[in-house]
Structure 1
Amino acid sequence: MRRLGAGPLWNQVVTVESDACRQYWWTHLLYINNYIYDDNQCMPQTWYLAADTQLFAIGLVFCIVARTQRARKIILGLMMIVSLLTPALHTYFEDLEAIVFQGPENVKSIYKTDNVFRHVYIAAHTNLASYTLGMGGGLLAYHWLTEGKDFEHFKKYRFFLWLIFPIDTLVILSGAFFYGDARASLTLRVIYAALYKPVFQLLVVFLTIFIIFKSEKVYRGIVEWRGFTWTGRVSYSAFLVHTLFLRAIAGSFVQPVHLTDFFVLVILSASIFLSFAAAAILWLCVEAPAKQLISAAMKPRPRVQDTKI
């Protein structure tokens, strides 16, 4: 991408990522790039993949260690306590803000100087609460499925389920409270930093369980729409490449730009189209063939029966 364009900000916005990837490529192979972020501007959006992989490893250890239902409850409870304490302690002892502020300087630097982003937002241990709730919800759903739990009588509460999406949206937007002129108290910042992700995830887990047991049709019809099949296949590649186009667009400007709602909509539409077009090519040429090769290599060979008499 560094050779495809030019502009006053091209080196600062585009070339800097190429240089960082030459130096920090190994952190992505080891999935530790979310903990080495100070000067690492190589595909910064992949912090999520690193955190998810680290939490998945914790989940594997949990499945190996917690063999009984009692052990699962105890370990999940301890994990939940630790996961609530970690973002709270970071916020308290470092005197951090409750949220990541979306300002020009943060966006320009890709948050490399924002301690809330680096120490709380992208780290695996500060995202453990959501993963713990997800594991607990999955185990609960599996337990109810195996025992054939009847959810028919819960259908009369489906109107309350429809409120989950608006409530989750309000949870996201609630961070706007901290954009005021006066800084919020440390106590409020600590409480919000500890609870806003778990509250959001708890509602998601609650809705997911009711969709699994077919107690709700509106949200279930949306998430099971077959139109999402294609976008689901290319979403990983789109996730990886979308920032390349955003950086290229920003680095190509040769003069100040007046940001109107229409201009932002045009940039957003162009970025989405280019990202999914490139993702479709990557899926056809790289991801799908690699998947077939891995499946063929991992497929067990059929046993040859001895026909000798």
Structure 2
Amino acid sequence: MQKVLLFLVAGVLAAHAKFHWNRTSFPRVPVWNFTIEEKTLLNAEQTGKLCLKNVDKCMEEDFNYETTANRLADFVFGIVPPFDLSQVEGVAEDCKRQSEKYVEELLKFKLWALKMYDASAKLPTGILNGNVNQLGDFDLCLQANERRLGIRGKYCLASMQVEAGAASPYILALHRLAQSHHHFRSQLDDPGHRVPRFSSVNWALCVPSACSSADVQLALRTKINTISKNTDLAVRVLVEPDMCQSSQKEPLPTSTIIVSGIFAGIVLLVAVSTGYDCYALGEKNRWMVAFSLRKNWTTLVTIKRSSDDIEAIHGIRFLNAFLLVLAHKSMAMFFTPYMNRTEMIEFVSRPWTVIGRAASLYTDPFILISGTLTAYSLLGKLKKNGRISVREEYISRLFRILPTFAALIAFCTFVLPWMNQGPMWNQVVTHHSDLCKQYWWRNLLFIHNYFGFKDMCLTHTHHVGIDTQLFFVSPLFALLLWKWPKRGVYVLAVLALASTAWRYYVTYTMKLSNYIHFGTSITQLFATADNMYIIPLHRATVYIMGVLLGYILRNYRNISLSKSQLRFGNTVALLSFIASLFGPAFMGSIDYVYNPTDAAWYAAFAPILWCFSFGWIIFTSHLGYKGLVERFFSWPPFSLWTKISYTVYLTQFPVFFYNVGITRTTQHYGFFKILLNLQELAWVWFLSVVLTLLIEMPFQNIRNIVFKKERTPEPLHKKIS
């Protein structure tokens, strides 16, 4: 009601200033009046409370030209007319009828109609600072309800693409400011569930419930065309069905009830298992304590390393996981409307913000680590037993990653969509759920990365598929190195070289970009993902580097390095780190023009340089050379992070998208406030711990029982982050 009060003040001021508005287009408005007795007995505050409780009693039956309400209607609706669908050709009859009633009741200042009008977006300030996305008032719109007429408020978030290609240079400059320098270039046809359609203008409209998204789109297009006629602006309009929401609640589907029951059953099982573990006497049944919270929590918080542990890996995993979380958050934050979006983009075009643009780089060390630990483990078994059980290795891996993965898919598909709502909720939460209902089986077969980002269930889990597929061929690599070491090294080196060359060729010829340069188009991002980034063949280089590193660590642990060799290796590793991270910083410049050679160089060689720097640290640390860097990455508490790294990887995007989906207002961008959101990071950590304790660790315990040998609940290899 704040806006209504402001409008009232404006109306009074207008009356005192003797403004004479043309009232020919508006009917008379009823007076809000109280009896003399009421005025005597009630003060202004009590009168307001009474009016809110019984609005209809506040309105007289007669009309008066000179009332404040009449002047207010002229003033407010003359400047910002309501969005009226009743006069648009082609709109459904029910929609027209309700729209006519809405306008009629709005001019009578009925509260439900005022809520709808007030909830729709209005022309804001700060357009030249990128404040073009207006979410209106989601909750106020859904509260609008006229039971007598059967009209409810329906919230629609429309998307508009404003192009100014044929305009004058000055208009183009203004358009560039409003569009925040075109940091991302998108089209209305681009998928908007994983990467935001940055070039679109999101505009909230509160319309009568009988109006469909097609009706709203038609009416909005008609009105926009009237405004843009005879200008140099071309405007496209899109109102998707999922982006229109009403307050009418659908009953929970059976699938949601069943899945929720399964999760409740798991919690109950954990409670029973914990009780048994705490109070049972004598030797305890291993099956009965597999889900014990007491047992698993003790394992989770205990720093225990085996003699075969490669210590530096834990710190390297933590660093890259933290950088990856920040990079993923950087992408998610572009969904949010900012009142200073242009200022934000100018800020993130600085060279040091390369940290948020190199998300692909931070996943490569996990592939390197996976190859290293897989080869290290398999070669150790070959040395000890002369054989490896491929079947056991495959089944063991499925026990490690599949239950947790399946639990996340089930939760995000059937439970999460019903936990909240908001302007963008259907876009970033429900849409992922709909995709998972169709394509969940691809994820559970670990082949979802072959079907592209657009129709992928939980797109952020593509790395699980890549790593699993590379793991499936790892026994072949290990056998090759064990039986024919020299030939094996040559073969793997040739494969790595071929993967690098192919990565360069595809990036250059298809004009892809693994680096989020300034002006990246959403089409280019999806094409890069589909044709290179999520394909194991293109990521094989660093995996093979890891396999070779694992071979060296297993067979050459007793070699020693001279000071000059150590100094030379440290220098090369440092230069590799700097070149891979900061070398492409110029592509983040606001004036950068895409060059396929730059993108191809980055795609081909940055992963190698980045992973070499960490591979060198792993190598020297394992040999016993503990400088400052090696001691840092070998710090024992980093091993605690390893135990939740897989679940952190899985849960971060659902948390980010949850917060995007419930966002209701335009925000002011501040680097530390938005990117380093401690509350959000705490939720990621908390949910990761919960998922680890309830799902991942219990199934690791079951795996140990199945294979009839007690292993450490946190294996050295195959942790994905």
Would the alpha carbon gap of residues 169 and 5 (structure 1) be closer, same or farther in structure 2, given more than 3 Å must change? farther
Residue 505 of structure 2: aligned partner: 89
CA distance in 2, matches of 1:24, 1:276: 28
Report the more deviating stretch, 186-195 or 203-212. 186-195
CA distance in 2, matches of 1:194, 1:214: 32
Post-superposition Cα deviations, 1:114-133, rounded to whole Å, max 9, x if no partner, equal 21222222221111111111
Q: Which runs of 5+ in 1 are unaligned?
A: 302-309
Report the more deviating stretch, 82-91 or 33-42. 33-42
- Aligned partner of 1:186 among 585, 596, 601: 596
**Local SS of the residue matching 1:114:** helix
Q: Offset at 1:184?
A: 4.6
Post-superposition Cα deviations, 1:131-162, rounded to whole Å, max 9, x if no partner, equal 111112221232212xx3123x3488459637
Give the total of aligned pairs.
Answer: 293
Residue 177 of structure 1: aligned partner: 586
Would the alpha carbon gap of residues 3 and 275 (structure 1) be closer, same or farther in structure 2, given more than 3 Å must change? same
Letter in 2 for 1:82: A
Q: Offset at 1:202?
A: 1.8
Q: Offset at 1:10?
A: 0.6
- Aligned partner of 2:440 among 19, 25, 41: 25
Residue 577 of structure 2: aligned partner: 168
Matches within 5 A, 1:119-268: 119-145=531-557, 148-151=558-561, 153-154=562-563, 157=566, 161=570, 164=573, 167-180=576-589, 181-265=591-675, 267=677
Residue 283 of structure 1: aligned partner: 692
Residue 5 of structure 1: aligned partner: 420
Letter in 2 for 1:149: I
Letter in 2 for 1:235: S
Post-superposition Cα deviations, 1:206-248, rounded to whole Å, max 9, x if no partner, equal 2211111011332232222222233221121121111111001
Q: Which has the higher helix share?
A: 1
Report the more deviating stretch, 217-226 or 69-78. 217-226
2:478 pairs with 1:63: yes
Report the more deviating stretch, 88-97 or 34-43. 34-43
Post-superposition Cα deviations, 1:268-289, rounded to whole Å, max 9, x if no partner, equal x222211111111122221121
Would the alpha carbon gap of residues 38 and 215 (structure 1) be closer, same or farther in structure 2, given more than 3 Å must change? closer
Q: Offset at 1:52?
A: 1.1
Say if 1:6 and 1:251, in contact at 8 Å, map to a contact too. Answer: yes
Post-superposition Cα deviations, 1:3-59, rounded to whole Å, max 9, x if no partner, equal 111111110011111111111111111111222124334222211111111122232
Letter in 2 for 1:201: C
**Local SS of the residue matching 1:39:** coil
CA distance in 1, matches of 2:675, 2:598: 35
CA distance in 2, matches of 1:60, 1:293: 24
Letter in 2 for 1:258: H
Would the alpha carbon gap of residues 157 and 20 (structure 1) be closer, same or farther in structure 2, given more than 3 Å must change? same
Q: Offset at 1:102?
A: 7.5
CA distance in 2, matches of 1:205, 1:195: 15
Would the alpha carbon gap of residues 226 and 155 (structure 1) be closer, same or farther in structure 2, given more than 3 Å must change? farther
Q: Which has the higher strand share?
A: 2
Say if 2:470 and 2:543, in contact at 8 Å, map to a contact too. Answer: yes
Residue 704 of structure 2: aligned partner: 295
Q: Which runs of 5+ in 2 are unaligned?
A: 1-415, 711-721
CA distance in 1, matches of 2:525, 2:566: 46
2:466 pairs with 1:51: yes
The higher relative CO (CA closer than 8 Å, separation ≥ 6) is in: 1
The alignment's TM-score, normalised by the length of structure 1, stands at: 0.84
Report the more deviating stretch, 67-76 or 176-185. 176-185
CA distance in 1, matches of 2:551, 2:473: 15
Letter in 1 for 2:553: A
CA distance in 2, matches of 1:98, 1:43: 20
Letter in 1 for 2:542: S
Would the alpha carbon gap of residues 70 and 217 (structure 1) be closer, same or farther in structure 2, given more than 3 Å must change? same
- Aligned partner of 2:515 among 99, 121, 145: 99
Would the alpha carbon gap of residues 103 and 117 (structure 1) be closer, same or farther in structure 2, given more than 3 Å must change? farther
Residue 307 of structure 1: aligned partner: none
Would the alpha carbon gap of residues 101 and 58 (structure 1) be closer, same or farther in structure 2, given more than 3 Å must change? farther
Q: Offset at 1:97?
A: 3.0
CA distance in 2, matches of 1:17, 1:289: 28
Say if 1:8 and 1:254, in contact at 8 Å, map to a contact too. Answer: yes
**Local SS of the residue matching 2:581:** helix
CA RMSD of aligned residues (A): 2.7
Letter in 1 for 2:478: C
Would the alpha carbon gap of residues 250 and 163 (structure 1) be closer, same or farther in structure 2, given more than 3 Å must change? farther
CA distance in 1, matches of 2:659, 2:493: 46
Percent identity, aligned pairs only? Answer: 21
Letter in 2 for 1:114: F
